[in-house]
Amino acid sequence: MAEMRTRTEHDSMGPVAVPENALWGAQTQRAIDNFRFSELRFPRAFLRALGLVKASAAHANRELGVLGAPVADAVAAAAERVAAGEVDDAFAVDVFQTGSGTSTNMNANEVIARLASDASGQTVHPNDHVNASQSSNDVIPTTIHVAALLAVEEALLPALTSLGQGIRTRAGTLAEHVKTGRTHLMDAMPVRLDQEAGAWATQIELSAERLRATLPRLCELAQGGTAVGSGVNAPEGFAKAFCEALSERTGQSFTPARDTFAALACQDTAVELSGQLRALAVAQMKIANDLRWMNSGPLAGLGEIALPAIQPGSSIMPGKVNPVLPEAVCMVAAQVMGNDVTVGVAGQSGSFQLNVMLPVIAYNLLQSIALQAAACEALEPVIAGFEVRAETLVRALERNPILVTALNREIGYDKGAAIAKRAYAEGRNVLDVALEDSGLSEERLRELLDPRGLTG
């Protein structure tokens, strides 16, 4: 194997051998050498936000006279290339690294400096120019907020809206179908399929409401707090100028954090967002499991619906078809719930003026958002495409002794219980048993026990 060609770069600790064609410099290479925990790297959503942050900082630095126009413009142009995803391969530092994310901030600074220098013919320094008026301690918390906000706004909320609307549309076609309701997985009073599906839609709509309620706090950014929150080395007005530049680039309304010390010391908003994502995961798993149960069998289970058949279900049992997409959604939900635990633990790891688990917060939060958007997209065609097995619903409903609940006011709970038990024991229709034991007329019984009349 040919020996890798290198060049020598220098930082405050001395010389470092860097791959000859790498865009990064000495500090990034030290991080690559030191942090060898996993193959996990920051996702595209984070790198996009990081590029936008660096470009907006360059704009603010030019506006406030910290950087001259030629250097500031070169930095901004290079940072926009990072945001656009042109150099993602240049971000090679493990997620499990220094808790402030300094290694990834320096990775960005060095890559942007190299791109800006090459494009402009000037010497652009990663710290003095690209990182001017900034610290890793405000850049990474800011990038977490920006990345999460954009991912929720651009991917997750549209997916939730589409899913909610899709379920509502499908529910509108299901009102004719009445089925046996179930509580504790046991027979209960009847419900219409449109009511059951409508409850799913409401879960999704409420999940979207919860997420939207968190967005204003994501719009508050730490940038300008620099090292500890005091804003050392940042000019007056930097936070405001930065937020205006970033808002213009993204179409969002970002504002300086109301308290930069809090914005650096804690990640409470990220923890809040993760909690809302966990609530959505709970809803997604509930819906997916309802679909699995209703589809079960089809002969030895409930068999109320038939989900779209999209692939063979078994390597050994010919003809078997499984509810694979709902199963995958359940696994997504489990992953998101686990991610929430990680974000919660990481969120309480703020000691004095800085949280020191920022990279793992960013990774897990953004993974959850991306997975849940995909899960919504996967559920939509499943719900739109399932077939109702109407004969199964009717057959089970006709034999449901719990319908006797409708007689409580006229014959009392105890007598109703006796009729239900006899109907179960004899495997008979509850109407037939009630005709013998209730003392009510057939006309009155048929009126009271009409399943559709019991669905509200």
Q: How many CA atoms lie within 13 A of 298 on its CB side?
A: 20
In this structure, the strands spanning 305-306 and 178-183 are unpaired
Helix (H) / strand (E) element for 351: namely strand 350-351
Q: What tokens were used for 269?
A: 């908003």
Give the list of residues 6+ apart from residue 268 with CB closer than 8 angstroms, or none. 262, 347
Closest CA to 222 of 110, 387, 101: 101
**Largest CA-CA distance found in the chain, in angstroms, rounded:** 99
Q: Which of these is catalytic: 184, 351, 368, 438? A: 184
Are 178 and 192 spatial neighbours (Cβ–Cβ below 8 Å)? yes
Look at residues 209, 227, 256, 215 and name the one whose alpha carbon lies nearest to residue 60.
Answer: 256
**Cα–Cα distance for residue pair 214/203, rounded to 1 Å:** 17
**Degrees (nearest 5) of the Cα angle 191, 193, 197?**
110
Active-site residue 145, yes or no? no
Identify whether the C-beta of residue 126 lies closer than 8 Å to the C-beta of residue 119. no
Asked if residue 74 lies in contact with residue 122, where contact means CB atoms within 8 angstroms, the answer is yes
Read off the tokens for 301.
Answer: 């289970």
Residues 52 and 254: their CA atoms lie apart, in Å, by 13
Q: Are 403 and 423 in contact (CB under 8 A)?
A: no
* Displacement of CA 257 from its chain's centroid (Å): 24
CA atoms of 310 and 133, how far apart (whole Å): 54
What distance in Å separates the CA atoms of residue 358 and residue 70, rounded to the nearest whole number? Answer: 33
Q: Tell me which residue of 288, 278, 273, 158 sits closest to 218, measured CA to CA.
A: 273
Residue 184 bears catalytic tag: yes
Determine the distance from the C-alpha atom of residue 177 to the mean position of all C-alpha atoms in its chain, rounded to a whole number: 33
Q: Which residue stretches of 251-323 are H helix? A: 260-265, 268-295
Query: 105, 94, 54: which is closest to 76 by C-alpha?
Result: 54
HEC secondary structure over 186-201: EEEEEEEHHHHHHHHH
| Rg value, the chain, Cα | 30
* Alpha-carbon gap, residue 146 to 50, rounded angstroms: 8
Exactly one of 230, 314, 351, 441 is catalytic; which is it? 314
Which residues are known to be catalytic? 184, 314
